[in-house]
Amino acid sequence: MEELVFYAFAILAVGSALLVVNLKNTARALFLFFVTLFAMAGLFIFALADFVAITQIMVYVGGVLILMLFAFMLSNKELLKALQHIPGRFLTMPNWQSLLLALGFFGVLLWGVVEWQQQTPDWIVQNIKQGNVIQPHDNNIQQLGLKFMTQYILPFEVISVFLLMVLIGAAHLSRKEEQK
Amino acid sequence: MITLTHFLVVSACIFSIGLYTVLAKRNAIMILVGIELMINAAILNFVAFGRYDKINYSGQVFALFAIVLAAASVAVGLAIILNVYRHYKTINPDQITDLRD
């Protein structure tokens, strides 16, 4: 039962991601990207990371996608030029080359996973032996809060300052130039 | 029982799709979507490995940091895209060829 739901989420994530890539209409692709992110959040729950899943939904669906839709609508001329085909010069490659590269990379990753399957890292084996594995009935969110405020306080502060910098930088970049 | 391999294979699929999007699309917003897909695959790996580390919770903590970084990159990236669009009237990276007027 558990595996069936996992496979359903995995197929939903991969299938909607493939559709996102193949759709010509950018607005539809962006709305389908919602589905991919929701399915990824479901997969996070299967790894017993409920707080990360909720954060994913709040940050991505509430923030990032709205921002992307705004940017898409503000640069809407592109909609008319979707059929125009320009041969790529330096950043984008022809479709078949990028497909080849992506498939090759996928092959390398899969090969790594298959090779790795025989030898689990020592720390995982040790933690399984000592029972230091997150269980479904653990109080995840409380533990995470404690860790954030004690062990990971420095990265937490660094990332808050970084977020402030990003906020100021984005506001500065997107302001209107005043006429001299 | 869902093993680590399941998660790794799914995230390999998502990462490759993201890589294809970044390489093949001629639209800056879709390239950002591809980058987000790749970051999401990385977060899935973080979370899947973090399940086996109850003492430090490092996987989930750094997954949250990665989500914050992804959101920050999207905010700055979209601001840059809007500026570029205002200047060049296109968001095709191939047509944006010079740094100044």
Tens digits of residue pLDDT in B46-84: 999 988 888 888 889 999 999 999 999 998 988 888 888
Residue A78 contacts residue B90 (beta carbons within 8 Å): yes
**What residues does each domain of chain B span?**
4-95
The whole-number average pLDDT for the span A72-99 is 63
Does pLDDT of A142 surpass 50? Answer: yes
Between A66 and A82, the more confident residue is A66
pLDDT of residue A122: 84
Q: Mean pLDDT over all residues of chain B?
A: 87
CA–CA dist A17, B38 (Å, integer): 11
Between A8 and A177, the more confident residue is A8
Q: What percent of chain A has pLDDT over 90?
A: 35
pLDDT for residue A88 is more than 50:
no
In a domain, A28, yes or no: yes
- N- to C-terminal Cα distance for chain B? 59
The pLDDT value recorded for residue A92 is 52
Is A95 part of any domain? no
**What residues make up the domain containing A56?**
1-80
A129 shares its domain with A71: no
Residue A98 domain-assigned (yes or no):
no
Asked whether residue A104 is domain-assigned, the answer is no
Q: Can you tell me whether residue B73 is helix, strand or coil?
A: helix
Number of domains in chain A: 2
CATH architecture classification, B4-95:
Orthogonal Bundle (1.10)
Residue A106 within a domain: no
Of the candidates A10, A30, A105, the beta carbon closest to that of B16 is on A105
User: Quick one: A73 and A133 in the same domain?
Assistant: no
CA distances from A7 to A40, A46, A49, A136 (A): 12, 11, 18, 19
Q: How far apart, in Å, are the Cα atoms of A169 and each of A25, A174, B71? A: 30, 9, 14
Please give the torsion angle defined by the CA atoms of residues A3, A57, A23 and B80, in that order, rounded to the nearest 10 degrees.
-140
For residues A59 and A3, membership in a common domain is answered with yes
Q: Tens digits of per-residue pLDDT, A105-124?
A: 999 999 998 888 888 888 88
Rounded average pLDDT over A78-99? 60
Residue A162 in any domain: the answer is yes
Q: What is the mean pLDDT of residues B43-48?
A: 93
Nearest CB among A14, A52, A93 relative to B64 is that of A52
pLDDT band at A165 (very low <50, low <70, confident <90, very high): very high
Say whether B60 and A140 touch across the interface (CB within 8 A): yes
CB contact under 8 A, B93 and A140: no
Same-domain pairing of A10 and A75? yes
A172 Cβ partners below 8 Å, 6+ apart? Answer: none
Report the alpha-carbon distance of residue A54 to residue A13 in Å, rounded.
Answer: 17
Q: Say how many C-beta atoms besides its own lie within 10 A of residue B35's C-beta.
A: 18
Of A68, A86, A101, the CB nearest to B92: A86
The ipTM is: 0.86
In angstroms, the CA B12 to CA A48 distance is 20
10 Å Cβ neighbour count for A90? 8
The CA distances from residue B2 to A5, B38, B48, B51, in Å, are: 11, 22, 10, 12
Q: In this structure, is residue A74 part of a structural domain?
A: yes
Tell me A123's DSSP state.
Answer: H
Q: Which of A27-31, A79-83, A122-126, A127-131 has the lowest mean pLDDT?
A: A79-83
- Whether residue A138 is found in the same domain as residue A70: no
Please name the residues between 104 and 133 in chain A that touch chain B, using a CB distance below 8 Å: 105-106, 109-110, 113, 116-117, 123-124, 127-128, 132-133
Does residue A85 lie within any of the structural domains?
A: no
Separation of alpha carbons A105 and B16, rounded Å: 7
What does the pLDDT read at residue A79?
53
Cα A92 to Cα B19, B26, B43, B89, B98, distances in angstroms: 12, 7, 26, 19, 16
Is there a single domain that holds both residue A73 and residue A130? Answer: no
A30 contacts on B by Cβ (under 8 Å): 29, 33
Average pLDDT over residues A53-82: 79
Q: Which residue bears the tokens 């680590």?
A: B4
Confidence of residue A7 (pLDDT cuts 50, 70, 90): very high
Same domain, A57 and A2: yes
Do A76 and A14 share a structural domain? yes
Verify that A1 and A76 share a domain, yes or no: yes
